[in-house]
Amino acid sequence: MMTSMNTMADPFVEAYGELRSLLSIEGPEWLVPIREKAFQTYALAGLPTRKDEEFKYTSLRELSEQNFRFGFGANVLREDLVPLTLGTIESATVGFVNGQYAPEISTHDHLPKGTFIGPLSELPEEFAPIVEKHLTKIATLEGKLGSTNDERFVALNTAYLGDVAVVILPKSSTFGKTIHLQYVVSGESVFSTPRTLIILGENAEATVVESFATVDGHGFTCPVTEIELAPSARLEHIRYQDESAASLHVSNTFVNQAGKSVYTSSNVNFGSQVARNDINAWVDGEYCETWLNSANVGTGNQVIDNHTRIDHAKPNCQSFEVYKSILKDHAEGVFNGKIFVYEDAQKTDAKQTNQAILLSPTATMNTKPQLEIFADDVKCTHGATIGQLREDALFYLRARGVEKSKAQALLVYAFAAEVLEKIGEETVRDLLEARLFDKLA
C-alpha cells in the first residue's frame, strides 16, 4: 500500500514529460504502456517521507532537493576511468554506465545454445517471448499478505526503464563462469535506473554478481532485479554496492521460487550516503531453500537500510537470514525483516538473525523483526542483538602490538566473516574481505 503525504516538488514526475518520447524508442513497443502505467503509479505515491511506515527511519528528502539529470546518452567512460569494480575476476561481464549498455566494459563470450547473457538491446528474437513473459511481472507484491507494501521505487524504475541486463539459462544447464553484471555511475547528479532480469530453467545453476560503483561524480541509482527460478534451479546471487559517499541508492530485488529451488543471496553494502535495499522472496513450491545473508559497513553519516521479505506460500520449505551491520562515527543502520507463513505452508522452518556492532557512541541501529504466521505446524525464530566490541578481546590484541585500528578491523572481520565466508566465488570473497579492511582503516 502506497500513500503519499509528501507536499515537496518531485523532480522525477516533472522530468518524465520531457523524456517520455525519448524513452518510447528504447526497447520493444510493448514496454510503452507498461512505462506509462508505472509512471501513474509512482506519481500517485510520490517521494516518501518519514511519515510513510516503510521509510520511518530513512530520510530521502535529498531526492527532492537535488537537480538530477537522466543518464541517457552518457554511457561512454574515459579509458582511464574504466573500472573493474571487483578486480580481475574470471567472469562473463555485462557492463552498464548510467543505466545503459557499455560494450567497452563488457566481454563477448560464445554462449551455449539456449543461453543468453547480455543487454535487452541485443536480445535475439528467439528469447523475446521469454523476456516479455517475465519482465515487470515478477517485481510486484500485489495479492500478497501485508498492508505496508511499498513499491513506489519499483514503479519509478519501470517508468524510466531503458536497457535491461538479461540472463537466461535453459533447463539443466550450468554456466561455467561467474556472470558479472556491472553497473557504473559516471558524472555529476546522474539519475539511473538499472534493470536486471535473471531466468533459470529447471535444474539450471549459476552464480551472478551485481556490482554498483561510482568512478567519477555521484548520483541517484534506483535498480530493480527480477529473478525467476524454475523447479530445482540453484542461484548464488552476490550483490555488492560501493558507490560514492555523496550518492543515493534505492534498490529492489524480487525472487520467485518454484519447488526444490535454492536461492542464496549475499548482499554487501559499503557505499552511498543513503543505501536502501529491499529483497522480496516469493516461495511458491515445496522443498525450497532461501538464504539471505548481508554484511553492511557504515561510516561518517551513512545510512544503510535493509528490508527483507520472505513469503512462505507452500509447505516444507526452509529460509535462513543472517544480516550483520558494522557502524561507526554517526552512521545509522536499519533492518526490517518480514516473514509471512501462509495457511497452506505447514512444516515451514524459518530463522532470522540480525546483529550489529556499534564502534562509536554516536552510531545508531534500528531493528524490527516481523513474523506473521497463519499455519500451526511451523518453526519460526528471530533474534536481534546490538552491542560493541569486547574490551578484553581488543586489549588482548593491543597488548601484542597491534594498532587500535587494525585490532578493531580484525575483530570486526571475525564478526562479518559468517556472511562473507558463505560467498562461494573465492575471488569475489577475497576482494570483499580486502575492501572490508580498507573501509574500516
**336-354 pLDDT per residue, tens:** 999 999 999 999 999 999 9
Nearest-10 Cα torsion for 119, 214, 423, 419: -140
Angle between helices 391-398 and 404-420 (to 10 degrees): 120
In the chain, % helix, strand, coil (3-state, to 5) comes to 25, 40, 40
Given a cut of 60, whether residue 80 has pLDDT beyond it is no
> At 411, is the secondary structure helix, strand, or coil?
helix
Burial of 36 (0-12, 13-18, 19+ CB in 10 A): middle
**252-276 pLDDT per residue, tens:** 999 999 999 999 999 999 999 999 9
Average model confidence (pLDDT) across the chain = 90
Q: Where are the domains of the chain?
A: 11-284, 391-441
37 torsion bin: left (phi>0), alpha (psi -120 to 50), beta (else): alpha
Given a cut of 90, whether residue 293 has pLDDT beyond it is yes
> At 7, is the secondary structure helix, strand, or coil?
coil
DSSP 362: T
The stretch 92-120 carries a mean pLDDT of 89
The stretch 166-173 carries a mean pLDDT of 97
Single out the residue of 264, 267, 265 nearest to residue 275, CA to CA. Answer: 267
Contact by Cβ (8 Å): 109, 92: yes
Beta-bridge partners for 340 = 311, 372
Give the position of cell 552476490: 238
Q: How confident is the model at residue 110 (pLDDT cuts 50, 70, 90)?
A: confident
Euclidean distance between the first and the last CA atom of the chain, given in angstroms as a whole number: 42
- pTM passes above 0.75: yes
Dist. CA 322–CA 306, nearest whole Å: 12
Q: Give the model's pLDDT for residue 406.
A: 83
